[in-house]
Amino acid sequence: MHQSVEKILITQEEIVARAKELGKEISELYQGKKPPILVALLKGSVPFLSELIKYIELDIEFDFMDVSSYEGTKSLGDIKINKDLECSVKDETILLVEDIVDTGCTLKEVTRILRNKGAKDVKVVSLLDKPDRRIVDIRADFIGFTIPDEFVIGFGLDYNQKYRNLPYIGVLKREIYE
């Protein structure tokens, strides 16, 4: 275990097993329909996307978007697009891939942006859900794991851009960020 990790919350084996289940559920939902374009939010969702797509038995495409909240502003949901999609989402079915839904602000704004671009249907799959921190009323359609209100790292999740490569989800030691 990494020295900055307090405890492992979800092991690599558990993540892989859950990704298989989610892949099956997603395949079933879109069976016989137009396959979705997976829109993954950089950078945190990359390891989860890589795992999940192996188990989706549909002719999907995927693309990336990078968004961040404006620094120095307290207005909620005010996000900046650092990298936009390369594909058109007009009249498309979209499955947004997230690492974690925390306050829900990112999810709410990105789904709004995708609908404004003409997406027909926007569903969400998130590896993690931290419902205790939610401030906007939004929920992912597919959730890997619901976790308590702790700061987690690994499997894409970072602290100051580090620890994304850990193969598990761990709780970051408080002394690292306090």
Binding residues for ligand IMP, rule: CB under 6 A, are: 44, 98-107, 151-152, 157
Q: 58 or 128, CB closer to ligand IMP?
A: 128
Q: 36 or 104, CB closer to ligand IMP?
A: 104
Query: CB 130 → ligand IMP: shortest distance, Å?
Result: 6
Q: 92 or 99, CB closer to ligand IMP?
A: 99
Query: CB 159 → ligand IMP: shortest distance, Å?
Result: 6
Structure tokens at 92: 């498309």
Closest by CA position to 136, among listed 69, 95, 76, 75: 76
Distance CA 29, CA 24 (A): 9
Query: CB 136 → ligand IMP: shortest distance, Å?
Result: 8
For residue 86, the Cα-to-chain-centroid distance in whole angstroms is: 19
102, 121, 129, 158: the catalytic one is 102
H runs (alpha helix) in 83-138: 105-116
Query: CB 16 → ligand IMP: shortest distance, Å?
Result: 20
Residue 141 falls in the annotated catalytic set: no
Task: Please report which helix (H) or strand (E) contains residue 59, including its range.
Answer: none
Q: 93 or 103, CB closer to ligand IMP?
A: 103
Distance CA 39, CA 82 (A): 15
Instruction: Print burial letters for 94-121: b (CB count within 10 Å at least 16), e (below 16).
Output: bbbbbbbbbbbbbbbbbbebbeeeebee
**Which residues are known catalytic residues?**
102
